[in-house]
A and B are shown apart, each in its own frame.
Chain A
Amino acid sequence: MERDDFLSLYRQMLLIRRFEEKSAEMYALAKIAGFLHLYIGEEAVAVGAIAALRPDDYAISAYRDHGHCLAKGSDPRAVMAELFGKATGLCKGKGGSMHLMDAERRFMGGYAIVGGHLPLAAGLAFAVKYRKSDQVVLCFFGEGALPSGQTHEAFNLAALWKLPVIFICENNRYAMGTPITRGIALYTEITETARSYGIEGEEVDGMDVLAVRDRMRDVVAKVRSSPRPYFIEARTYRFMGHSMADPSHGHYRTKDEVEAERKRDPLLRLRQTMLERSAATEAEFDLMDRDIEEVVDQAVRFADESPFPGPDELHRDVYVE
């Protein structure tokens, strides 16, 4: 049982890692355009948190959303096709990297106005409560969204009405290029922000998928049995630049810092644990590598071979007809 869990968590993180690396390659080849924000380094947060969910639970994210979408179970081919802008993409090519959505899997979207999706998350949770259902909502956002007014409004409403939404702050310490020390007054204690609204919260090592999953299992169970918001600060780090427009370190952080953080790589960490506990052999890891490589290659082939949407799609989906 534990072994299967480990394998599943590792496999999902590996899928996201390889998917993102391939996306960067495809961006360089101009197969993908626009803004592309990679999740490399932060995989343990999405994978660990979503592993604690039921399929009918909701997840919603900001614009660095590929990881959450894949972890929620979306078909990597449809995700890659969306990045390519193809008709077979999750959103028929109309959303793009920052607006992946998969209603069937209850992935309610990636949103690109910082702070703007937190009220939506509260609303999804409101609907759950209104229907006297027992789903929970996971809302992922970066620490850059924490000072935003909409975030505070969402916290207050969620706390006031005891809505079953878990706010997961992916604290990667940089809001684009602005370090948390220069953007958030109470940067060492960001959970206090939620506590000030009466929302229970805690910090978790966002580079440790097992820690994230274990804490989230408890938190999800609590929120499901007794609806209320919860706050998680997942301490993580992005190994790449803010987007494909900037290099991994840039002017705002040092190469040494990035190299040091890379030693906390969530994949290496789980791999180490699994080897220590004999949950997988080197040969099994090799096999998984090859499997995932094939999955990602297939996704690229599928995306590449798919047609672009025709002109008849331009005006479709503006309104429900």
Chain B
Amino acid sequence: MLISYREALNQAMREEMRRDERVFLIGEEVGYYQGAFKVSKGFVEEFGPERVLDTPITEAGFTGLAIGAAMAGLHPIVELMTFNFGILAMDQIVNNAAKIRYMSGGQISVPIVIRGPGSAAHQLGAQHSQSLEAWFCHVPGLKVIAPATPHDAKGLLISAIRDPNPVIFIEAQLLYGTKGEVGDGAYAIPIGKAEVKRDGTDVTIVAYSKMLLVALEAADALAGDGVHAEVVDPRTLKPLDIDTIAASVRKTGRLVIVEEGWRFAGLGAQIADSVSGAAFDYLDGPIVRVTGEDVPMPYTRPLEDAAIPDSARVVKAVNQMLHRPS
């Protein structure tokens, strides 16, 4: 069926909450407001306020509470209204969720999903527009997922909820309304598996979340010009499926990584390092990164546009790499 990314997330959570009493949803406005982005539409009506908990605006408090509940064997889904606010819960996520299993020598685990939108929408300013996935990927003990399509969003969220580890699940405001074919019922997409979203032979473009759409648009434009780009979506950022990415690079010999986040110490740097380790001999030239600019996100539209990668910049990067006029 053709449904939106938002509806796909809604279906995933609904399926899992119907299947498993231990699963509950907690966060700001998830109940009667139906979710700030309407992802939990109809939930409080179906599952009741005991399992769909509206919280006060205290991210550290309710994220920590959910981690404590997970330690006691429940399977919470924490909705962060946006990951920007999740910064207030970083102590809970990094020092507790990620480390409790290790610190306890494997006695206590934390089966929790912390989800919500990351990255920029349109003109929301510096504090509401940032991509923090690299922060989470840096921390041992966390898994990090950033799906781009409704199909992947549903299957990966189901896997995240069933996973016995803490999973950071990063969505995007600008993806919620995008539509795609989604399977019926509860299907699980394995965590840690990338997918080739478009076959090609000349260059590999790795992109995730919203940037996958940018990469596919660029691939279309390049195809019109006779350049066949292969587009790979890691889908899971940690653990990273380096095998699938490296296999593509071995075929094409070239790699462009597209990410919306800040360049310095961004996720693309890690992907480049991993590919260098796995497929250096197959590279015909340096790995190129197309990234967000290293600035707080400006409000005004022209500057905001300049700070975020678009398909034209991806096309240009590929053409430069191939020594073609752009």
Listed in ascending order, the chain A residues whose CB lies under 8 Å from chain B are: 58, 89-95, 99, 101-104, 108-109, 111, 113, 116-128, 130, 149-150, 153-154, 156-157, 160-161, 316-320
Structural contact, A130 and B69, CB atoms closer than 8 A? yes
The answer, among B91, B92, B96, B165, for a CB contact under 8 Å with A319, is: B165
Q: Are A123 and B141 in contact (CB under 8 A)?
A: no
- CB nearest neighbor in A for B164: A320
Q: B100 — which chain A residues lie within 8 A by C-beta?
A: 101, 109
B17 to chain A, nearest CB (A): 13
Given contacts A95-B104, A109-B100, contact A318 B64 (CB under 8 A): no
Known: A93-B105, A99-B104. 6 other contacts (CB 8 A): A58-B72, A91-B107, A99-B103, A123-B70, A124-B72, A157-B61
Q: How large is the interface on B (under 10, 10 to 19, 20 to 34, 35 or more residues)?
A: 35 or more
Chain A residues within 8 Å of B111, by CB: 320
Residue contact A122 to B64, C-beta cutoff 8 Å: yes
Quick one: closest B residue to A165, CB to CB? B68
- A319–B69 CB distance below 8 A: no
**CB-CB nearest in chain A for B98:** A318
Tell me whether A113 and B91 are in contact in the complex, defined as CB-CB below 8 angstroms, given that A91-B104, A102-B107, A127-B68 are known contacts.
yes
For chains A and B in complex, what number of residue pairs have CB atoms within 8 angstroms? 142
Given A109-B100, A119-B92: A318 in contact with B141 (beta carbons within 8 A): yes
CB of B64 within 8 A of CB of A91, answer no
A95→B103 CA distance, assembly (Å): 4
Determine whether the beta carbon of B60 is less than 8 Å from that of A120: no
Q: What are the residues of chain B within 8 A of A122 when measuring CB–CB?
A: 61, 64-65, 68
Measured CB to CB, the closest approach of chain A to B56, in angstroms, equals 6
CB of B73 closer than 8 Å to a CB of A? yes
A102 to chain B, nearest CB (A): 7
Known: A111-B96, A130-B50, A318-B140. A94 touches B103 (CB 8 A): yes
Cross-chain contact B106 with A157 (CB below 8 angstroms)? no
Closest to B100 in A: A109
- Chain B residues contacting A316 (CB-CB under 8 Å) are 106
B62 touches which of A91, A104, A130, A157 (Cβ 8 Å): A157
Q: Are B60 and A317 in contact (CB under 8 A)?
A: no
Residue of B nearest to A155 (CB): B61
